[in-house]
Amino acid sequence: MVQNCESKEYRDSPHAGTWYPNSKKDLNKMLDGFLSNAQSRVAGEIVALISPHAGYDYSGQVAAYAYKTVENKTFDDVIVIGPSHHHGFLGASVDTMAGRITPLGKVEFDLPLARKIIEYNKNIINEPMAHTKEHSAEIQIPFIQKVISDFKVVEIVMGSQDYAMCEILSDAIVTATKGKNVLIIASSDLSHFHKQEEANALDNLLIEAVAEYDPKMLYRRLTTDSCEACGAAPIITAMIAARKKGATAAKPLMYATSGDATRDYSGGVVGYLAAALFKAKEIGVGIDLGFSEQEKKKLKQIARQSMEAAVRGNDAPAIKNITGKLKEPYGIFVTLNKYGNLRGCIGLIIANQPLYVSCQQMARAAALEDPRFPSVNEKELDDIDIEISILTPPEDVKDFGDIVIGRDGLIVRQGYYQGLLLPQVATEYNWTVEEFLEQTCHKAGLPGDAYKSKDTKISKFSAEVF
């Protein structure tokens, strides 16, 4: 039976003024700052997000990477799932107050939807004490208010952390929201109060399971103390529910710790992750230049060995057994990613030396010489993923209609200014051709509309990316 415990009263946000600003003006300013420093990097329809729930000074910038992906999008409902920090109980509790009030205004709860979720299973209840002081759901609301308009919310707090409860709650959400366009948000911080290096190692195991979209792997790791998350059950529930709602891929968007926010690593830190679960668009990237799998594997090996040697201060390793196309001159970019985020990218547009030599040089440069990032250090090496792009020769663009997203990269030149973006960048950010041109202009240090000027030269190229 449905518990008759709905209220016409709106829940206050007790953490406003401490965990985030209590002034509408100050809160708007803080959120605007976070969002302006974040970029959407998902090509597909967002179904669920993973977002941290610490004070905004610590985790707000990471959370912004999740919320940037749904900025100005529309949803019928937003379902926020968080862990219970202050009240112990079994199962999951759905809030049945009328809504919540934050400094940005009033948010309505979707009470009919809340009732449907509660009706689904006896382990889903309304336990008022679970919501009274809980911050895990509350901390998400101002971000939602900032990026989405005309929506209702269902707030859920989980007391039980077992996989069976995650499956029950995910089934309840999917069944109750049939035919609705909903966004699911899992509210969770990661490891707590370890030294920075240990936190990174623990959190990377969780991030890997999310990136692989494998909730069972994540549960195994969590239950064997391989990694930590205070919102582990909400993450797993969101992963299961999002898949049933059509999500096919997961992408970590940003990872950092409280130490990264404060620049104080002297004590223990807390880990924060922003990630998206989405229906991936089937967009091919680049073209096939005829490199064999063996040749690709060899280039990846050369890049990694060269990067590691450079970071450790050793001489470049000797390269043997070079055959076939690796001896030919090609343009190449070596891209380094850490936890799904760019960590360095350097390349040659046109090369006059064998590809394997350029690969070795660019791997070193990406690790040590990208001016946008500090040099990679030895402790990071195990967390670095390498992507290689082998370029075709550039050709002038005479008609913007000839630019194909996913196939083409762009080069913009005007006087001493030059900017290049690889084909996969436009795909990752889901840009239109116009947006791709604008962003390449920005990369060159030019105004976004500089591509329209007769003084601007625009070239395109493609690449084999692996």
CA angle 441, 442, 443 (to 5 degrees): 90
Residue 323's pLDDT is: 83
Give me the residue label for tokens 């190692």. 201
Asked if 142 and 31 count as a contact pair (C-beta separation under 8 A), the reply is: yes
CATH superfamily placement of domain 10-280: LigB-like (3.40.830.10)
Pairing mode, strands 124-125 and 249-257 = unpaired
Q: pTM of this prediction? A: 0.74
pLDDT tens digits, one per residue of 188-242:
999 999 999 999 999 999 999 999 999 999 999 999 988 899 999 999 999 999 9
Residue 2's pLDDT is: 38
Which architecture, in CATH terms, is 293-391? 2-Layer Sandwich (3.30)
pLDDT tens digits, one per residue of 356-378:
999 999 999 999 999 999 999 99
Percent of the chain with pLDDT over 90: 86
Q: What is the dihedral of CA 170, 171, 176, 179, to 10 degrees?
A: 90
Judge whether residue 112 has pLDDT over 60.
yes
CA–CA gap between residue 213 and residue 54 (Å, rounded): 24
Report, as an integer, the average pLDDT of 80-109. 95
H/E segment holding residue 338: strand 331-338
CATH class belonging to 395-465: alpha beta
Q: What's the alpha-carbon Rg for the chain, to the nearest Å?
A: 24
Asked if 81 and 156 count as a contact pair (C-beta separation under 8 A), the reply is: yes
Q: Tell me the average pLDDT of the chain.
A: 93
Judge whether residue 283 has pLDDT over 70.
no
Residue ranges covered by each domain of the chain: 10-280, 293-391, 395-465
Judge whether residue 340 has pLDDT over 80.
no
Residue 316's pLDDT is: 87
H/E segment holding residue 459: strand 457-461
Angle between helices 56-68 and 24-36 (to 10 degrees): 60
Pairing mode, strands 182-187 and 92-94 = unpaired
Q: How confident is the model at residue 44 (pLDDT cuts 50, 70, 90)?
A: confident
Q: Under DSSP, is residue 85 helix (H, G, I), strand (E, B) or coil?
A: coil
Q: 336 is written with which tokens? A: 């380094």
Q: Under DSSP, is residue 173 helix (H, G, I), strand (E, B) or coil?
A: helix
pLDDT tens digits, one per residue of 383-419:
899 999 999 999 999 999 999 999 999 999 999 999 9
Residue 6's pLDDT is: 64
Residue 97 makes CB contacts below 8 A (sequence gap 6+) with 6, 7, 9, 10, 11, 109, 131
Q: 153 is written with which tokens? A: 């919310």
Instruction: Identify the CA nearest to 278 among candidates 234, 235, 243, 254.
Output: 243
Judge whether residue 5 has pLDDT over 60.
no
Asked if 64 and 88 count as a contact pair (C-beta separation under 8 A), the reply is: no
